[in-house]
Amino acid sequence: MRLKWTKDPDFWVRRGAAVSLIYPIKKNKYGQINPLLVSDALMEDEHYLVLKGYGWMLKVLSQQDPELVFNYLYKNRDRMPRLPFRYGLEKFPRDKKEILMKN
């Protein structure tokens, strides 16, 4: 369902694909949904609120599974827009942030 939302013409629906996962991620009840697939689908969205939404989702996910998000950010650091990338690395310790931000 949420992956379908990532293709919607309405940016609020696209943003909702990511933001609606925040509460389940916080409660560790997102089960069959892979948040990284949602992030991949929204990676190059042009609307800044969609970018902020999936960046926020990555930030919350980084508190539940830091290694997963660290590897994801590292792999996509050259492709991911700055806004969601910075949101995603916000909760990492300084040394991890430095690794992610090096060119």
Structural domains in the chain, CATH included, are 2-101 (1.25.10.90)
pLDDT band at residue 103 using 50, 70 and 90 as cut-offs? low
Query: What percentage of residues in the chain have a pLDDT greater than 90?
Result: 87
Report residue 74 CA to chain centroid gap. Answer: 13
| pTM, to two decimals | 0.92
How do residues 44-80 score in pLDDT, each as one tens digit?
999 999 999 999 999 999 999 999 999 999 999 999 9
Measured between alpha carbons, how far is residue 86 from residues 4, 27, 58, 81 in Å? Answer: 26, 23, 10, 9
Task: Please report, in angstroms and rounded to a whole number, the separation of the first and last CA atoms in the chain.
Answer: 36
Enumerate residues 6+ apart whose C-beta is below 8 A from 52. Answer: 15, 83, 84, 87
